[in-house]
Structure 1
Amino acid sequence: MTDGNGATPLAELTTMRVGGAAHELLSPATRDELVAAMVETWGSGEEWIVLGGGSNVVVADEGFDGTVVRVLTRGIQQLSDDDGRVVLRVEAGEPWDDLVAYTVDNGLAGIEALSGIPGSTGAAPVQNIGAYGQEIASSLVAIEFLDYLSGDLQRLTAADLGFDYRTSTLKQGRRGLVLSVDLELTRSAESAPVGYAQLASTLGVELGARVPLRVVRDTVLALRASKGMVLDPADPDSVSCGSFFTNPIVGENFARTLPEQAPRWANAPEPAPVAVPLGEEPAAPPAQTDFRVKLSAAWLIEKSGIGRGFSLPGSRAAISSKHTLAIVNTGGATAAEVTELGRYVQTRVFSQFGVRMVAEPVLVGVWL
C-alpha cells in the first residue's frame, strides 16, 4: 500500500505533470484499506491530501511534506430502477469518463454532456463539475463520506453539499473523504434537454431538444478535443488542468460597466410564479436586488491582450494554443512557471476590467 517515502514525484500522477514527491504516498487497493489508511493518516497528525485522477491539482516543485492518499477503488452498482429512474452507486476511484461511457452504453441519461472530463468520480462533487449545460448537482442524490472531524461514515445528500457554481461545502472547508457517489439518471435512449447554446448549434438543434445519447457524447468529446480539453498523449495542449480559471460571477450593476460585447449570462433563477385567489390582492413584489451575472473568463483573458499560445519569456508554461482558459505544460515546466503565468493572467484581467480571476485547480504548496 505504501509507495515509499519521496519515491514518486507527484508530477507523474497529475495531468499538469508538475510537482515533487510527497513525504509518504499511499495507494490502498480496496475500500477497507482506503478507510483504514485515511483514519491512520488523520491520527498521525501529519498534513494530508487525497489524490484521485490528478486532473485538477497543481503541486509545488518542492513536493508535499505530508501524506498523499490515492483513491483507486472502482465499481458501478445499480441500486434501484423505479419507473425509469435509475440510481447508481459509483466508487470514488472510478474514472469519471468511464462512468459516463457506461451510462451512455446502458441508455441512462443525465450526465452525457459531462463526457471527456478527466479525473475520478469521487472528485466530481467537490467542485460540482459541469460542462455544456449539465452539472453533477442535477443528478447527485448523495455521497458516502468519511468525516475528518468525527471519523464517522456519513451519508450526505445533495442539499448537505451546498452546491453552487464549481463549488460545494467539500471545497469550502468540509474535510474528509468521498467513498462513493449515488446518481439518479433517467432510462432513455435520448439525452436530457440540451441546455448549452454551443452544443445545440453544433448538433443542429434548438435549445431544449433531445437527441440520441451517443450523438451527444460523441459531439461533446469532439468539442472538448478541439479545445485540448480531452486527455490525449498525441495532443500537447492536453497537458494541463483543463480550465485554469472559473468564469467570474459578478453583480449585475458591475457587469453593466463592462464593454457591451462582453458575454454574460444571468446566474439567478427566474422568480417562481405565484397563484393569487380571485378577489385577493397580490403581495408586493420582492425588492429588486443586484442579480448575479456570469462572465466569460476566456473572453476576459483574450481581451486583456493574452492570446492562445502566449507564454512569458523563458517559461515552459503557456496558454493553450486551442483555448485561452487552459494553461499547459509545453515540456518540462515547473509549478512555479505555471503559477507565475496564472498570476500574470490575473493581473492583466484585473488591470483591464477590474475582475478578479479565481483559479479552478486545487493548489498544493503554491499560490496565485
Structure 2
Amino acid sequence: MFVNKTKLPHLLLPEHYSSQSQYEVEMEAMFRPQWHWVGSLHDAPGDGDFFTRELFGVPILVRNHQGAYHCFLNVCPHRHSTLSSECSGNSPTLKCQYHGWGFNVDGSSGRIPDAKNFRPMSGGPECLKKFALAVHGPLIFVSLDPSCPPLTEQFAPFASVTDEFSSDRWAHAETWHYDFPANWKVVAENTVESYHLESVHTDSFRFEPEDAIEHEIHDGGTIMRATIKSSPWSTRFSNWVTTQIQPGCSPQYRMHHLFPHLFLMRTDVMLQVMVLMPTSPTTCRVTVSVFVLRREHETIWSKWLTRFWGRVKTSAVKKILAEDASLYPGIQTGMEHSPFKGCVSTREELVHALQNHVAEKCGLRSEASRDEVPVRVDAPVSNEGGR
C-alpha cells in the first residue's frame, strides 16, 4: 500500500513557498536544466508545420520536417528578428519573416536573398541555434541545457504510461491553461496526495478504500495507483466504451509524477498530461492536455466514440481541477503566515518525496532527525530556523 509506516516531517519551511531567493534557486537548480513538455504531435502533424513557444523567456520554434521534429531558437542570426511571430503555421521552407533568410533542416544557412552582399560568409554565426528535442508517445519535449541527460533516462521508471500504444493511436481532445495565484509546489503537492479527496472532491473524484492505493517512490519521481470509486452504472458504461475502443485497457487510475513538474495520468483509454511552470515565487502556469485512444482500425463509429469520450473526460478533469483551484489562494495565504512546521501522513508520503527532491536539488540540508526542518547548507543554523 504505502511505503512508509509512520507520519513524516514537512521538509520545507512555509517561507520556501514564497521566497524570491528560493524561487531563483529552484529555477536554476531544478527547472532550467530539465526536459520540458512543449507540445504534442498534433500541434505540427504535417511536413512543414511548426509552432512557437516561450520557455523561461526564451523564444523557440518547433518544426516538422518530413516527420522528424527539430527545435531552434526563434531568432534569426542576421538582424535578430524572430523567425516567426505566429503561434503555429506551415511553411515549405524554414525562413525568417523579416528578410527571407532561409535555413536548412539542421539550421545551417540556406538561401539568402542578395547573398553576394554578405561575402565572405563563414557559415558559423549565420546558423540557427538548435536545442535538444525528444518525442515520447504523442508528446514533444525540449531541453535548453546541452548537458541534460537523455529523456529516456528520465522516463525509465515511467515509460509504460505512454509506451503502451504507438503515438499515432492517441487522439488529442483538448489543451487548456490556468494561471494560479500559488507557488508551483502548492499545486504539485495537492496533485500527488489523495488525503484531500474526501473533503474536496466529494462527488467528482474518489478512490476505493485506502488499502487499494499503491505508492512507488523513485529518484526521479513517484507513481500512484488506485481504483476510482464510481457508481455501478458509470463503471459499466466506462467498461463498455473501453471495450469498443481498446479491449483490455485497465480502468485503474495511474498517476506518474516526473520531478519536478510533469504529471502523466492514465485511466481506461484516456491520457491526461499536466505541466507546472513557475512564473513567480507565488504564481504558476499550468497546462493540461487530454488524449483518448483511437481504435486500431478506425470506423466512423469509433471516431465518434473517441471524440465523445474525449469530451466526457475533459469535462470531468476540468471539474476536478476547478475544485482544487478554489483552494490554492487560501493555501498560499496560509503558507505566507504560518508559524507551524507542518507534518505529513503516510497517505501523503508522495508530498514528502517531492519535498525531499526539492531539498536535495536546492541545497537544503537533509533532515538530521524526524523533528528537524531543513535549512540551506550554507546558511547558519539558528534557533529561529525551526519556528
TM above 0.5, yes or no, is no
Structure of larger gyration radius: 2
Q: Which has the higher helix share?
A: 2
The bucket for the TM-score relative to the shorter chain is: under 0.3
